């Protein structure tokens, strides 16, 4: 197996410094970890750290709080975390504890989480600004209010609450939007694992296989490659299911003449990949499927070619919509001129989602798409998906039967570079001939 690639400690420290540079003097930022979620009874969901918290700390335990106080003489970066507890560790695994945290993570101070009520109000006191993602952690919001109010009610004793609350997201999410060299390496590994999983899946497809069996192939390849989970529930939709955008039941049998749309990506070292391909169950696309597939592929290539520094975020989408509309007019599925159909947005009955989104620690990653009401321009280090699709839902009226139930999306992950772009998922075939050749070779092998 390839050696693990991960973000190093220096990078987490650099991110904290960058955020603190954006904060005003005499201010404080507070970030809680994610909460452990109960599934039922004594069973918990596997814990996944909050992306903002992880981005700044690299710390993966629950019940933790990160506090940043730029310019504080006794230390700027403070972590509250669980203390070591042999009984709890016997049941749930290792707890690092404040002493070891100081040694391992490069914070300036670390305290038991049980001491937070005593310590944090004193750190908030008399700060002019408190940076916090209000509304994102409902229970923690109450605790923040409690600490702030305790300072207010104590005003007679001379304490002062912070002067102003500032939304942390606008600063932190702008940092997260631009990926470092290390982040690109991790994203590339997530992309590589996802590509290998799609290739394995593609070679399993045959009439009679169930969607969940194909999903199992993905998950097996993800986990055996060191990705602990999918970045989002995998979509494996055969036949009409391909026209349901967020289909995740994955419980249907794949039939001979159908397509199967597979939208799946792993999460590796907290970073997501997000890839879609649409395969013919028989190993060969029908003529009607080829007609629609070719339009989507051309749209995707046109969209990708729009990605370069200086072009704006919506240009790939506009290029994709134009190719799709033109193609559907040519097939007689839309009527009117290109301009008329685009102005009336009648193409939306066949393609109803946008052509991409930022990608990073979250599959739909953070970062603004518009700045002061205008589409923002691409800059090196941004990572986006490009994922046009055409969905001909069986309920649509007046559509030739040969097209009904065809749902096709093609999605890749793209890094914006100095001069243009790099496709992180380029190793996964998307040409009709390449896909058919790989599937045929696999089928021949199965029958030998």
Q: By CB under 6 A, name the binding residues for ligand GLY.
A: 232, 263, 274, 357, 363, 387, 411
- Binds Mn ion by CB under 5 A, chosen from 385, 403, 414, 442: 385
**Phi, psi angle pair for 333, to nearest 5°:** -85, -20
Residue placing its CB nearer to Mn ion in the complex, 188 or 385:
385
Give the one entry of Mn ion, ligand GLY, none that residue 328 binds, where binding means its C-beta sits below a cut-off of 5 to 8 angstroms depending on kind. Answer: none
Give every CB contact of residue 218 below 8 A, 6+ residues apart in sequence. 197, 198, 200, 201, 230, 234, 236, 262, 264
Place of tokens 């990708």: 304
CB under 5 A: which stretch of 3-11, 210-218, 255-263, 303-311 binds Mn ion? 255-263
Residue placing its CB nearer to ligand GLY in the complex, 17 or 246:
246
For residues 261-280, which are near Mn ion according to CB under 5 A? 263, 274
Query: Shortest Cβ distance from residue 387 to ligand GLY (Å)?
Result: 6
Nearest partner of 124 among 97, 99, 152, judged by Cα? 152
Element (DSSP H or E) covering residue 194: helix 181-202
Asked if residues 97 and 80 have their Cβ atoms less than 8 Å apart, the reply is: no
Residue placing its CB nearer to Mn ion in the complex, 131 or 378:
378
Q: Could you tell me which residues are beta bridge partners of residue 390? A: 408
Element (DSSP H or E) covering residue 220: helix 211-224
Residue placing its CB nearer to ligand GLY in the complex, 102 or 245:
245
Query: Shortest Cβ distance from residue 249 to Mn ion (Å)?
Result: 17
Query: Shortest Cβ distance from residue 442 to ligand GLY (Å)?
Result: 25
Q: How big is the chain by its Cα radius of gyration, in Å?
A: 25
**Residues labelled catalytic:** 42, 246, 263, 274, 353, 357, 364, 387, 391, 409, 411
Here the tokens at position 196 are 């290998």
Residue placing its CB nearer to ligand GLY in the complex, 192 or 387:
387
Here the tokens at position 179 are 């990926």
**Integer Cα distance of 359 and 362 in angstroms:** 6
Binding mask 404-443 for Mn ion (x = CB under 5 A): -------x--------------------------------
Q: Which residues bind Mn ion (CB under 5 A)?
A: 263, 274, 385, 411
């Amino acid at each position: 197996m390839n050696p693990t690639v991960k973000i190093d400690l220096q990078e987490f420290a650099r991110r904290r410094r960058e955020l603190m540079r954006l904060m005003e003097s005499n201010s404080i930022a507070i970030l809680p970890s994610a909460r452990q979620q109960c599934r039922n009874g004594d069973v918990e969901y596997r814990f996944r750290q909050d992306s903002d918290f992880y981005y700044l700390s690299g710390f993966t335990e629950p019940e933790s709080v990160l506090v940043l106080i730029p310019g504080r003489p006794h230390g700027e970066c403070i972590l509250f975390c669980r203390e070591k507890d042999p009984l709890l560790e016997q049941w749930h695994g290792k707890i690092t504890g404040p002493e070891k945290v100081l040694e391992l993570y490069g914070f300036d101070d670390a305290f038991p989480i049980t001491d937070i009520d005593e310590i944090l109000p004193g750190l908030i006191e008399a700060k002019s600004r408190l940076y916090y993602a209000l509304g994102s952690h409902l229970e923690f919001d109450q605790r923040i209010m409690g600490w702030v109010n305790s300072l207010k009610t104590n005003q007679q004793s001379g304490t002062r609450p912070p002067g102003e609350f500032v939304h942390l997201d606008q600063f932190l999410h702008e940092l997260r939007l631009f990926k470092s060299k290390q982040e690109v390496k991790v994203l590339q590994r997530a992309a590589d694992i996802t590509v290998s999983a799609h290739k394995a899946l593609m070679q399993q497809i045959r009439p009679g296989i169930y969607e969940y069996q194909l999903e199992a192939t993905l998950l097996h390849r993800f986990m055996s490659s060191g990705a602990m989970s999918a970045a989002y529930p995998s979509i494996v939709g055969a036949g009409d299911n391909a026209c349901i955008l967020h289909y995740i039941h994955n419980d249907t049998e794949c039939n001979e003449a159908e397509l199967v749309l597979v939208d799946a990506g792993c999460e590796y070292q907290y970073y997501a990949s997000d890839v879609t391909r649409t395969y013919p169950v028989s190993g060969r696309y029908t003529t009607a499927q080829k007609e629609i597939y070719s339009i989507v592929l051309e749209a995707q290539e046109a969209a990708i070619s729009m990605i370069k520094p200086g072009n704006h975020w919506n240009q790939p989408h506009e290029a994709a919509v134009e190719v799709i509309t033109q193609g559907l007019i040519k097939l007689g599925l839309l009527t009117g001129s290109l301009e008329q159909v685009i102005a009336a947005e009648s193409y939306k009955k066949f393609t109803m989602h946008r052509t991409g989104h930022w990608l990073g620690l979250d599959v739909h990653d953070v970062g603004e798409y518009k700045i002061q009401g205008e589409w923002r321009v691409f800059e090196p280090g941004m990572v986006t998906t490009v994922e046009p699709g055409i969905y001909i839902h069986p309920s649509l009226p007046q559509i030739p039967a040969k097209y009904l139930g065809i749902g096709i999306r093609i999605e890749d992950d793209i890094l914006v570079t100095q001069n243009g772009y790099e496709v992180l998922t380029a190793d996964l075939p998307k040409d009709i001939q390449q896909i058919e050749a790989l599937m045929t070779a696999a089928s021949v092998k199965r029958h030998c």
